[in-house]
Amino acid sequence: MFKRNYSRDSRSGKATFGRSSNSFHRRSGGRRSTFKSGPTISASRFISKADPIIKAKPYEAKHQFSDFVINDQLKKNIITKGYITPTPIQDQAIPQILTEKDVIGIANTGTGKTAAFLIPLLNKVLNNPKEKVLVIVPTRELASQINQELIDFRGALRIFSVCCFGGVSISQQISNLRRGHSFIIGTPGRLKDLVERRVINLASFGTIVLDEADRMLDMGFVADMRFVMSQMAPNRQTLLFSATINHELDKLIKEFLREPVTISVKTGETAKNVDQDVVRLRSGENKIEVLHKLLSQPHFSKVLIFGRTKHGVEKLSLDLTKRGFRAEAIHGNKNQSKRQQALRQFKDNRSQILVATDVAARGLDIPNVSHVINFDVPATYDDYVHRIGRTGRGDKTGQALTFID
C-alpha cells in the first residue's frame, strides 16, 4: 500500500512530507547520483532554498522608458503595455542598441531580454522604413511569442513581421514573405530552407538578433546559424542574447560580432527566487502515484512538468488526464496548431498542468507558474537552469522539484 505522511506548515501554508518517508527532504550536502541521461549531476545541485525577495536590493534603473530617445508613438505603446521602469538588461542594452553597436546580452531567463532588443529595433525601423531585421530563435513557440510581443509594442504603427518555422505550411510563409515586412522571426532550419529557395535575400537585412543562442547550439543549429550569417551584409548590426556562455558560443561571438559591447546582468546559475528540492523515490515506489499526491495539493495550482522523450511526455499527459487532472502536452511530435492550443490552455489557466519536453524550457514567458517538476532528470545542468526558470519570474517566488530514483 502506498503510504506517505503529509502535513501543512502553519507558517508557510505549504505541504511538507513526514520525515519518516525520507522521500522529499532538504539536504545541505547531497550525494552524487548517477543518471541515465547525460553526464552525472550531483543531486545537491537540485536543492537550494530561495532567497526571500524582500532581502533583494532593488535594481536602481538609470532610465525610465520615457527617457529613451525613441519614437513618441512607440513610447506611448510601451506605456500602454504597462512598462514604466526597465529591467536591468533593458536599462543597459537599449541605449547601446540605439547607437547601432553590436551587443552581447547575458541575463537570466525571465528578465525581459525580448523587449531589450525589440524596442530599439522597432525604433530603428521607424527611423528608416527600408531597414530589415532578422530574429533567429531555437523554437517555434519562442518565435510566436516574440512576434506577439512585437505586435503589442507596435500598436497601430505600420510595421509588419513574418514568422518562419517548421511544422506548418511553408507555402503560406512564402506568401507572407512576398508582402511588405520589416521583421522576420524564425528558426534556423526553416530560414535556411527559405534562403535556399531564394525567398529571403539576407543581404538586404541590416540587423540580426540571435536569441537564446546557447540553446540553438545545444539543439545542433550551429551549421544553419553559420549559413545564415554568411549570407548577411558584412556591415550589419548583430545582437546576441543568451543566458549562458560556453567555449563554443564564445567562438561564434568572435566570428559573428564586431567590437561588441557586453552587458551581463546574470545574478547566478539559477533564479534566486526559486525554491529547489528533490523528490527521492524509495525502492518499489510508483513514480506516477508520488506525482499524483503532489499535484493533488492545492498550492500546486499551475504546474509545468518536464519529461525526457516525446513519447514519455505524451503518455504522462494522458495518464494524468485519466486521473482527473486538467493536463496538456507539448512536444515535437505535435503539429504547430496543437502545440499552440496546449500552450494557450495553460497560459489562460484552462489547464492546471503542461507536460513538456525541453522545447518549452527556453524563452517562453508563461505567467504565474507555481511549480516546475522535473519528472525526468535533465540531460545537462544548463537544461535544468532553463527548465526551472519558467517559475519564480519577476517578483514572484516559485518552486522546482526534481525526481530522483
Domain at 202, CATH number: 3.40.50.300
Residues 115 and 189 in one domain: yes
Q: Which three cell numbers stand for residue 103?
A: 551587443
Q: Across 13-27, 56-70, 198-212, which has the greatest mean pLDDT?
A: 198-212
Mean model confidence pLDDT for the chain: 84
pLDDT of amino acid 363: 56
pLDDT given for residue 268 in this prediction:
58
For residues 154 and 247, state if they share a domain: yes
Is residue 259, in this structure, part of any structural domain at all?
yes
| Co-location of 84 and 114 in the same domain | yes
Q: What's residue 9's pLDDT? A: 37
Sequence-separated (6 or more) residues with CB below 8 Å from residue 223: none
Provide the CA 30 distance to its chain's centre, in angstroms.
Answer: 28
Selected residue with higher pLDDT from 340 and 355: 355
Q: Is the pLDDT of residue 353 over 60?
A: yes
Same-domain status, 311 and 374? yes
- Strand pairing partners for 18? none
Same structural domain, 281 and 341:
yes
- Quick one: 284 and 338 in the same domain? yes
Residue 156 located in a structural domain: yes
The pLDDT value given to residue 304:
96
Final residue belonging to a domain, choices 264, 292, 314:
264
**pLDDT tops 90 at residue 74:** yes
Task: Give the chain's domain count.
Answer: 2
Check whether residue 249 and residue 300 sit in a common domain: no
pLDDT of residue 51: 61
- Is position 89 within any domain? yes
Residue 91: its pLDDT value, please?
96
Is the pLDDT score of 276 beyond 80? yes
C-alpha cell at 257: 560580432
Whether residue 110 is found in the same domain as residue 202: yes
Residue 60 in domain? no
Q: For residue 170, is it within any domain? A: yes
Cα–Cα dist 103/90, whole Å: 12
Residue after which a domain boundary falls, among 225, 247, 264? 264
The reply to whether 383 falls in a domain is yes
pLDDT band at 59 (very low <50, low <70, confident <90, very high): confident
Residue 280 near residue 22 (C-beta atoms within 8 A): yes
373-395 per-position pLDDT tens digit? 999 999 888 788 888 888 887 66
Residue 205 lies inside a defined structural domain of this protein: yes
Q: Which of 225, 223, 235, 258 is nearest to 102 (CA)?
A: 258
Question: Does residue 1 form part of some domain?
Answer: no
Residue 262 has pLDDT above 90, yes or no: yes
Asked if residue 227 lies in contact with residue 234, where contact means CB atoms within 8 angstroms, the answer is no
- 8 A C-beta contact, residue 215 and residue 359: no
Compare 284 and 125 and report the one with higher pLDDT. Answer: 125
Average pLDDT over residues 346-356: 93
pLDDT-derived band at 170 (thresholds 50, 70, 90) equals very high
Among the candidates 232, 264, 296, a domain finishes at 264
CA distance 288 to 298: 18
pLDDT-derived band at 271, boundaries 50, 70, 90: low
- Could you give the CA distance from residue 194 to residue 46 in angstroms, rounded to a whole number? 41
pLDDT at 25 over 60: no
C-alpha dihedral, 378 to 384 to 389 to 391, nearest 10°: 60
Estimate to the nearest angstrom the gap between the alpha carbon of 373 and the chain centroid: 16
Among 78-92, 116-130, 221-235, 256-270, the least confident range: 256-270
Any idea which residue has 534562403 for its cell? 195
Distances (CA, A) of 20 to 4, 140, 177, 292: 9, 45, 62, 20
Higher-confidence residue: 40 or 29? 40
Tell whether 104 and 130 lie within a shared domain: yes
Cell 492545492 -> residue: 298
- 117 and 235 share one domain: yes
Tell me the average pLDDT across 286-293.
Answer: 95
> Which residues have CB under 8 Å from 27's CB, separation 6+?
44, 47
The tens digit of pLDDT for each residue in 219-250 reads: 788 999 999 999 998 899 999 998 878 888 89
> Which residues are CB-neighbours of 344 under 8 A, at least 6 positions away?
350
- The residues near 302 (Cβ < 8 Å, ≥ 6 apart) are 346, 349, 352, 368, 369, 370, 371
What is the extent of the structural domain holding 200?
Answer: 65-264
State whether 37 and 159 are in the same domain. no
Residues 230, 83 share a domain? yes
Residues 6+ apart with CB under 8 A from 247: none
* DSSP secondary structure letters along 189-239: HHHHHHHHTTS--GGG--EEEEETHHHHHHTT-HHHHHHHHHHS-TT-EEE
% of the chain residues with pLDDT over 90: 58
Q: Which of 27-41, 293-307, 388-402 is predicted with the least confidence, judged by mean pLDDT?
A: 27-41
What's the pLDDT band for 44 if we cut at 50, 70, 90? Answer: confident
